[in-house]
Structure 1
């Protein structure tokens, strides 16, 4: 008897992802985690090699985002973000793309058709997006400092601060002093108080 084998066609997993700008809020070396702050809250990720308050870019893949209808409490997933479902877009079976509106950020989640039917996911529904910390690997967090330093807005801020500092120095009143000051005398010597010149005939009463 010969065995007949049939190969099932496998659909490729859609590669949706969300990239957001964040800043390093704090580090937790004891647990090996860092806290990042972005427009709609905080993210706990594996410890990143970036200074506190530095800018980073975070990439979150849709396949790493889960959905809950009520606020998740007794779960191991650390990152839990409330939002509203904007769109439910069927892909190749069994995948469905769910687009979340977190307030400022739009986040993609990839679930199955069965999950959409079981949870009754539809646009306008309030739900929670959950992201495992370990799913956001070190390769998903990139330093954003070079782009920030090279941007025109950053340069304009630096120029304005420099001009403002020059204006303060030019408009600042000079400390009072007695006696003539030479034009080439160092600025540090100008601020020193000098005793008034002694006039002839003045005597000090004891």
Structure 2
């Protein structure tokens, strides 16, 4: 079913390192032209990286929030034409020093569809083997990497310790998969 809204044009306001800011114009089903603020993002991946009943989380500084947050290992799609599975493998190696033997798509989500087109694909990764970490940037160089029992991580997601949407959704999807 179509919405009846038609995209007319985008006007670039600013192109940042990761995202672009646009005035996007649409025609409504009634023929009125409207403008909406839109942030365009290349997309990202994240991993519920499991070792037995434990899940790996990272705690890193997030500039917009001005605090460190617990999150799933994740990264943006910043290598041209790189397959999503290869991206999540690369991110796990960079952030937690683990290479997954199994990679399975768990869920795809949009964080903030009211203003941003970013999608995030969350993968369930297992059979982890240790590899050298290759941190990318100061946030990763200074982050904490820690394993938690999946039950504890889910509790952190539900009690407000974890506030990152992809992490909450990924943990709950994995918990459902494992009957936690």
Q: Same fold (TM over 0.5)?
A: no
Looking at both structures, which has the greater relative contact order when contacts are Cα pairs under 8 Å and sequence separation is at least 6? 2
When normalised by structure 2's length, the TM-score is 0.22
The alignment's TM-score, normalised by the length of structure 1, stands at: 0.20
The structure where strand makes up a greater share of residues is 2
Instruction: Pick the structure with greater CA Rg.
Output: 1
